[in-house]
Structure 1
Amino acid sequence: MTLPPSTRRSALDRLTADAPFLARLAELFPEDVARFLADGTDTALAAVTAPAVDEEVMRTLRRWRGRTALLLALGDLSGEHDVAATTRRLSEFADTACDLALAAAFAERVPDAAPQGLAVIALGKLGSFELNYSSDIDPILIFDPATLPRRERDDPDEAAVRIARRFVEILSARTADGHVLRVDLRLRPHPEVTPIVLPVNAAISYYESEALAWEQAAFIRSRASAGDRALGTRFLEAIQPFIWRRSLDFRQLKEIGAMSDRIRDHFAQGQDFGPGYDLKRGRGGIREIEFFAQVHQLIYGGRDPALRAPATVDALAALAGAGRVAPDVAARLSDHYATLRRIEHRLQMIDDQQTHSLPVQPDALDAVARLDGEADGAALLDTLRPVVGDVGACYDRLVADRAVATGLPRDESELAAALAAAGFEPPDPALRTIAEWRSGKLRALRSPAALEALETMLPELMKAIGAAPDPAATLIRFDKLVAGLPSAVNFFHLLAAQPALARVATRILSLAPTLADALAARVELIDGLIDARAFDAPADKAELIAEWTPGLAGLDYERLLDRVRDRVGERRFAYGAQLVAGAADPLIVARGYSDLAEAALQLLADATVAEFVEAHGRVPDSELVILALGRFGGQALTHASDLDLIYLFTGDHLAESDGPRPLGATTYYNRLAQRVTAAMSVPTAAGKLYDVDVRLRPQGAQGPLVVTVDSFERYQREEAWTWEHMALLRARPVYGSDAARGEVARVIADVLARPRGGSVATEAAAMRARIAAHKPPAGPLDVKTGAGGLVDLEFAMQVVQLQSGRCHDPHIPTALACLAAAGLAPDAIVAAHRLLARLLVMLRLTAPDGEPQAAAARQLVAAACGCDNWPALLEAHDAARQEVAGWWAAIRPADEQQETK
Structure 2
Amino acid sequence: MSEPWDSLPAALSKDVSGCWPAVFPQGVPDWLARGGVTRPDVAEAIARSLFIRQALERHSGQIHPAIVDRPLTEPTTEAWLQARWQTFLAVVDSESALHSALRQYRREVQFRIIWRDLMRWADLEETMAATSAFADTAIDGALNWLYQQACEEFGTPYGRDPATGQEKPQRMVVLGMGKLGGRELNVSSDIDLIFAFPAKGETRGGRRALDNQQFFIRLGQRLIQALDQITADGFVFRVDMRLRPYGQSGALALSFAALETYYQDQGRDWERYAMVKARVVAGDQKAGRVLMESLKPFVYRKYIDFSAFESLRSMKEMISREVRRKGLENNIKLGSGGIREIEFVVQAFQLIRGGRDRELQQRELLRILAELEVLELLPSQVVSELRSAYVFLRNLEHALQGMEDKQTQILPDDAISCARVARIMGFESWQDCLAELDAHRGNVARHFADIIAIDDHGEADDGGVDDGCYELWLSDMDEDSALEWLESHGFENPKDSLQCLADLRHSRTVQTLQTQGRKRLNQFVPLLLNALMGVNNPSETLSRVLQLVEAILRRTAYMVLLMENPGAMTQLVRLCSESPWIARLLAETPLLLDELLNAENLYSPPAKEALQDDLRQQMLRIPYEDLEEQMEALRYFKKAHALRVAASELKGTLPLMKVSDYLTWIAEVVLDHVVDVAFANLVSRHGYPRRADGSACDTDFAIIGYGKLGGIELGYTSDLDLVFVHQADPQLATDGDKPIDNAVFYTRLGQRIVHILNTQTPSGQLYEVDMRLRPSGNSGLLVSTLQAFEKYQQEDAWTWEHQALARARGVAGCEDTLKAFEAIRHQILCRSRDKSALRQEVVDMREKMRSNLGTPETRKSEVFHIKHDPGGIVDVEFMVQYLMLAWSAEHPELTQWSDNIRQMEELGRAGVMAVEDAERLREVFITLRSTIHRRALQNLNSQVEAEAFSEERSYIQQMWQKIMIE
**1:225 to partner: Cα distance:** 13
Cα offset, 1:810, TM superposition: 0.2
Alignment of 1:204-223 (within 5 A): none
Pick from 591, 599, 604: which aligns with 1:532?
599
- CA-to-aligned-CA distance 1:11-51 (integer Å, 9 cap, x gap): xxxxxxxxxxxxxxxxxxxxxxxxxxxxxxxxxxxxxxxxx
Cα deviation, residue 782, structure 1: 2.6
8 A contact 1:629–1:644 mirrored in 2: yes
Query: CA 1:659–1:301 in structure 2 vs 1: closer, same or farther (change >3 Å)?
Result: closer
Query: Could you say which residue in structure 2 is the equivalent of 1:838?
Result: 930
- For the residue of structure 1 that corresponds to 2:508, the secondary structure is coil
1:275: which partner in 2?
none
| CA displacement 1:740-794 (0-9 Å, x = unmatched) | 2111100110111111102111000000000011111397453211211110001
CA distance in 2, matches of 1:396, 1:791: 52
Which one-letter code corresponds to 1:311 in the other structure? V
Contact map agreement 2:588 2:763 (CA 8 A) in 1: no
Q: Alpha-carbon deviation of 1:711?
A: 1.6
Q: Pairwise mapping of residues 769-808 of structure 1 onto structure 2 (< 5 A)?
A: 769-777=847-855, 780-805=863-888, 806=891, 807-808=894-895
Task: Name 1:880's counterpart in structure 2.
Answer: 952
- Alignment-derived partner of residue 103 in structure 2: none
- Does residue 112 (structure 1) correspond to residue 74 (structure 2)? The answer is yes
| Aligned twin of 1:593 | 663
Deviation at 1:893, TM superposition (A): 3.0
- Asked whether the 8 Å contact 1:444–1:488 carries over to 2, the reply is no
Aligned pairs (5 A) from 1:349-748? 402-403=460-461, 408-409=470-471, 410=474, 411-412=476-477, 419-424=486-491, 427-438=494-505, 441-443=508-510, 446-485=513-552, 487-553=554-620, 554-555=622-623, 556=625, 557-621=627-691, 623-748=700-825
Identity of aligned residues (%): 22
Say whether the 8 Å CA contact 1:482–1:488 is kept in structure 2. Answer: no
Task: Give the C-alpha shift of residue 804 in structure 1.
Answer: 1.1
> What residue number does 2:941 align with?
849
How far off its partner does 1:528 sit?
1.7
Task: Measure, in 2, the Cα distance between the counterparts of 1:593 and 1:521.
Answer: 19
| Paired residues of 1:539 and 1:595 also in contact (CA < 8 A) | no
Question: What is the deviation of 1:609?
Answer: 1.0
Aligned to 1:683, the other structure's residue is in SS state: coil
Whether the 8 Å CA contact 2:497–2:543 is kept in 1: the answer is no
- TM superposition shift of 1:692: 0.7
Please report how far the alpha carbon of residue 145 of structure 1 lies from its aligned counterpart in structure 2 after TM superposition: 11
Question: Which segment drifts farther, 495-504 or 532-541?
Answer: 532-541
Q: Which amino acid aligns with 1:114?
A: T
Q: TM-score, normalised by structure 1?
A: 0.55
SS in 1 for 2:563: helix
2: distance between equivalents of 1:396 and 1:696?
51
Measure how far apart 1:674 and its partner are: 1.4
SS of alignment partner, residue 865 of structure 2: coil
What is the distance in 2 between the residues matched to 1:608 and 1:310? 32
| Cα displacement (A) at 1:688 | 0.8
Equivalent pair of 1:790/1:837 in contact (CA under 8 Å):
yes
CA distance in 2, matches of 1:545, 1:308: 28
2:911 match: 823
> Structure 1's 461 and 720: CA in aligned 2 closer, same or farther, altered over 3 A?
same
Asked if 2 retains the 8 angstrom alpha-carbon contact of 1:681 and 1:692, the reply is yes
> Aligned partners of 1:446 and 1:678: how far apart in 2?
38
The 5-angstrom pairing of residues 741-760 of structure 1 reads 741-757=818-834, 758-760=836-838
Judge conservation of contact 2:492–2:537 (CA < 8 Å) in 1.
no
Deviation (angstroms), 1:532: 3.1
For the 8 Å contact 1:793–1:884, the answer to whether it is kept is yes
Aligned-residue offset at 1:399: 5.2
Superimposed CA distance per residue, residues 169-210 of structure 1 (whole angstroms, 9 cap, x where no aligned partner): xxxxxxxxxxxxxxxxxxxxxxxxxxxxxxxxxxxxxxxxxx
1:150, 1:616 → 2: CA distance? 34
The 1:347–1:657 alpha-carbon spacing in structure 2 relative to 1, beyond 3 Å, is: closer
In structure 1, distance between residues paired with 2:911 and 2:510: 64
TM-score normalised by L of structure 2: 0.52
8 Å contact from structure 1 (residues 440, 451) kept in 2:
no
Whether contact under 8 Å (1:657, 1:663) holds in the other structure is yes
1:678-735: CA deviation from partner (whole Å, max 9, x where unpaired): 1221122332100111111112122222222112112211221111111000110123
Which residue identity lines up with residue 583 of structure 1 in the other structure?
Answer: T
How far apart are the structure 2 equivalents of 1:613 and 1:752? 36
More divergent stretch after superposition (803-812 vs 631-640): 803-812
Compared CA separation, residues 426 and 636, structure 1 to 2 (3 A): closer
Please state if 1:764 is matched with 2:834: no
Residue by residue, what CA displacement relative to the aligned partner does 1:59-91 show, whole Å, maximum 9, x if unpaired? xxxxxxxxxxxxxxxxxxxxxxxxxxxxxxxxx
Q: Check 1:566–1:316 CA distance in 2 against 1; reply closer, same or farther (3 A cut).
A: farther
Letter in 1 for 2:850: A
Residue in 2 aligned with 1:311? 345
Structure-1 separation of matches of 2:186 and 2:482: 59
**Deviations 1:821-847 (Å, cap 9, x if unpaired)?**
333331311211221222222222224
- The 1:344/1:561 distance shift into structure 2, 3 A limit, reads closer
Deviation string, structure 1 residues 411-460 (Cα, Å, up to 9, x no partner): 21676665445322564543444445445733597122222222332333
Structure 2 CA distance, aligned partners of 1:620 and 1:235? Answer: 26
Q: How much has 1:632 moved relative to structure 2?
A: 0.3
How far apart are the structure 1 equivalents of 2:837 and 2:603? 47
**What residue in structure 2 maps to residue 17 of structure 1?**
none
Q: Tell me if structure 2 keeps the 8 A contact 1:495–1:501.
A: yes
State the AA in 1 paired with 2:539: A
Cα deviation, residue 653, structure 1? 3.3
Question: Does the Cα contact within 8 Å between 2:592 and 2:640 map onto a contact in 1?
Answer: yes
Aligned residues of 1:615 and 1:659 also touching (Cα < 8 A): yes
Once the two structures are TM-superposed, the CA of residue 636 in structure 1 deviates from its matched residue by 1.2
Deviations 1:492-529 (A, max 9, x none): 21221223333333344344333333222212222223
TM-align CA RMSD = 4.6
> What per-residue deviation string (whole Å, max 9, x for no partner) do you get for residues 607-646 of structure 1?
1011112223333236222211111001110001011111
Taking a change above 3 Å as real, the CA distance of residues 404 and 115 of structure 1, as seen in their structure-2 partners, is farther
501-510 vs 610-619, greater mean Cα deviation = 501-510
Alignment length (residue pairs): 568
